[in-house]
Structure 1
């Protein structure tokens, strides 16, 4: 598995669009954000849906500290009241339980995903209630280091594209992303890097 962020691909991306050279000039090279494959990382990504990373991390740490080990069986052992005490919303508690059940019933094997192509990974993940396109995108990039993912559902990425290109229509943004193929994950990393550095996060 090759890192999304590497010197050769960065040079190639610069030839495709000078926007990335501009970001690099301002803030340098983005980190190669990555996470281990598996249940813990996918659960964290579910908790990150539609909330700030800081809030999601706080909720995850509270949940992780409450149970003996972060496993599907431990998650399923928790009552609604215990989930609420860990600041896990009713909806996200349901999603974590759906994921846990799918793994325990062997409907989803996360260890197999690294051997599949992007479309098959999406199909398997999105068969689980609570896992949509954004969650699949993040797992593909961060956990599987998939090279050509453009997370059109990510607010930080989209707002950064709007700011730097003055293109505001999502269809037009997606059309623009076509020119960054096959390095759209690296493009997204640059946009996240810009977003976070500009806000000093």
Structure 2
């Protein structure tokens, strides 16, 4: 089973990364420790992550809250009862409506078992989730990081992470993902927590806090 972080070891992992990388030490000294962002292992959480694809966090949360208002409890069965019109009224695009329904059907049929994922390796989880239309590597990365709290995920499909590395390391804009992976090699096996530090840095820079919150949205997945 992959390594996991939790409230008992999170800050010590941050400290280990700070010892390994002076830029992380600088982030902690200037902005403090990053929040330990986490989410429950539920269908609703995966719906939320799907809604976050390619939009601002605020827009995704607005759609999630509309769904909550409409059906109270966001479950696979409840979502499948909604019409296309009702989904649109909850700010769900046609594509995301389809993605959410594919996920709901996969869970109801037993193709996807979220509880079983808690004991599985990263790549086995990635294979199962990416088999569903509308779920790509970014969605899986966020699920592994925020829900299962696996320690060694580096979501280079997230523009905020890429930009944060480039800014923190004073790298040119044309730096490739392959080069970023080499830079992140010393952060193993704690690249998830390194990513938390990077998000924290990106959101904490005074010049653009509000803009950063809106920009921390993923690229299109599929």
TM-score by length of 2: 0.87
Q: C-alpha separation between the residues in 2 aligned to 1:6 and 1:111?
A: 23
Report the equivalent of 1:25.
29
Q: Which moved more, 1:130-139 or 1:5-14?
A: 5-14
Count of residues paired in the alignment: 201
Mapped pair 1:200 → 2:209: yes
User: For the aligned residues, what is the CA RMSD?
Assistant: 1.3
After superposition, the C-alpha distances for 1:150-175 in whole angstroms (9 at most, x for unaligned) are 00101111111111113322211111
Q: Which moved more, 1:174-183 or 1:161-170?
A: 161-170
Task: Assess if the C-alpha contact under 8 Å between 1:2 and 1:145 holds in 2.
Answer: yes
After superposition, the C-alpha distances for 1:3-23 in whole angstroms (9 at most, x for unaligned) are 176232122111221110111
After superposition, the C-alpha distances for 1:32-73 in whole angstroms (9 at most, x for unaligned) are 000011211111000001111111001110111111421101
Mapped pair 1:56 → 2:60: yes
Which of these residues, 104, 120, 123, is aligned with residue 124 of structure 2?
120
Match of 2:180, SS? helix
Report the equivalent of 1:180.
187
Q: Which moved more, 1:181-190 or 1:118-127?
A: 118-127
Task: Assess if the C-alpha contact under 8 Å between 1:125 and 1:131 holds in 2.
Answer: yes
Mapped pair 1:148 → 2:162: no
Task: Assess if the C-alpha contact under 8 Å between 2:37 and 2:146 holds in 1.
Answer: yes
TM-score by length of 1: 0.95
Report the equivalent of 1:99.
103
- For structure 2, the 5+ residue unaligned runs are 211-222
Report the equivalent of 1:3.
6
Which of these residues, 34, 42, 47, is aligned with residue 46 of structure 2?
42
- For structure 1, the 5+ residue unaligned runs are none
Q: Which moved more, 1:165-174 or 1:177-186?
A: 165-174
